[in-house]
Structure formats: structure tokens, C-alpha cells
Amino acid sequence: MSAAQNKAVLIGVSGVSSSGKTTLARLLRDIIPNTFILHEDDFYKTDQEIPVNQDGLQDWDCLESLDLDSLDKALDFIKIHGYLPPNLESKEDKNAVGESGVDKKRVTELKEAAQKTLGATSDVPVFIIDGFLLFSQEMQHIRKLFDIKLFLRADHKTVKQRREARTGYVTLEGFWEDPPGYVDSVVWANYAKDHAFLFEDGDVEGKLKDGLCEELKIDMAPLEVQGNMTACMDWAYEKISGHLSKRATQ
């Protein structure tokens, strides 16, 4: 099935925990007509099935914590049918997202622009999937399903500060709070391991490998939008609106 024949447009928004993925996804949902969100976190295994690492801590940031088969099937279903699979209910929307600090006037401007320029495409639903692990090498079968791939970066200091400020997370069977040191030993360690292939010398705070993101069709957020959600929103909207406008002419 070609991109133009798909019943939905799938947008992957990935990056390290606390990089702004969910905040961005919710802003874009408010701006772009006929847009919905699906969270990778909704495909966690049960609490009892989450792997335990060498330090005796549950590892919620590793590949093995996810029900990849269900995620794969859900994305295929959306592409074919243009709506969410029956009985798929998001628990992630129960988790709080901090104040974005975004310019509300700019949100209104983009919403008005989207109504004018993307109105003709609004009959095709847009699904934004946000998740910490969508584009890694081990996720190639998932990665190829996305029509647009947006990657948000954040440095270790910012991730640690934001993540440790959170109160916790609703899970399938309860509530999770990070124990002390969790960001360093689990969150950042997994992010670095799974995304080192994109960066020179494996340094996820360093320079991207020349041409690799282009080859994989991953749009990496410019460094200058880090920590500025209004600028990040503008960047993401430009990428998405360009794709949707082009798709409408095919």
C-alpha cells in the first residue's frame, strides 16, 4: 500500500525521556485538524513482566519492557483502517505533563494557518505516536511504518532535572516512582545505548553522523530548539504541514 493509499498518516515523535515528546504531541494535536495521539507507553507489558536489571531495579526504558507485537499490530491497523483499534484505551493521558511555556498566541496562529492550508487534507486522519524508543536499530520494523519521523534531543542535565521533578507514572497495574539514581543508571543509560548509532563516537550529546538521519528519513530537531517548546513546535509544524501538503497533491 502506497503512502497516498494509506487511510492515515503516522508521525513518530521520539527522543529521550523528558525531551518534550508528549507536550509537543499534544500541541500538534490541538493545531492540526483531525489529529490523534497514541503513546508508546500504552504498550508497556504488565508491571510484573517489566525486566529487572543487574541492580535489582525494574527497567522501564529497555526494549524488553514493551509489547512490540501489539504496537506493531496497532500501527498496521491504523494505517489500513484510519482509526484506533477497538478497546485501545490510553493510560498515558492520565499522567501529568508540566507547563510547556509555549507562546499561546503562536499556537492560535498555527491553528489558523493549519485550517487554511491543510483543510483539504483533513479527511485523512493524522496519528502522532510519541515514545522513547521508536527509531532504534532494534525497532526497524516499527520505524519503517512512520510517514514522518521527528526526533527530539535533550542533554543529560536537562533530562535529569525534568525527570526527577516528576511525581511518577500511572502503570497498567499501579503507579511507578523513580528510585534515587534511576535517571543515570536506567533512563539515560538505555537512551545512550539504543541511540549511539546515530552519533559520532556514540556520543548522544555530540555530533550526528553525516547523512545517516537523511538515509533513515529521521528529522532531528535542531539544537537551537532544545528547551524552547515554541520553537520546537514551529519546527515540527513546518515538517508535518509540508508532508501533508505534498501528500494532498499525489
Rg of the chain, C-alpha, whole Å = 18
- Displacement of CA 169 from its chain's centroid (Å): 17
Catalytic residue IDs? 41
Q: CA–CA separation, 164 vs 158, rounded Å?
A: 10
List, as own/partner pairs, every contact residues 55-62 make where C-beta atoms lie below 8 angstroms and the sequence separation is at least 24, other chains included.
55/185, 57/179, 57/182, 57/185, 57/186, 58/176, 59/186, 59/190, 60/169, 60/176, 60/186, 61/17, 61/132, 61/133, 61/186, 61/187, 61/190, 61/191, 62/190
Cell of 178: 523513580
CA atoms within 13 A on the CB side of 230: 9
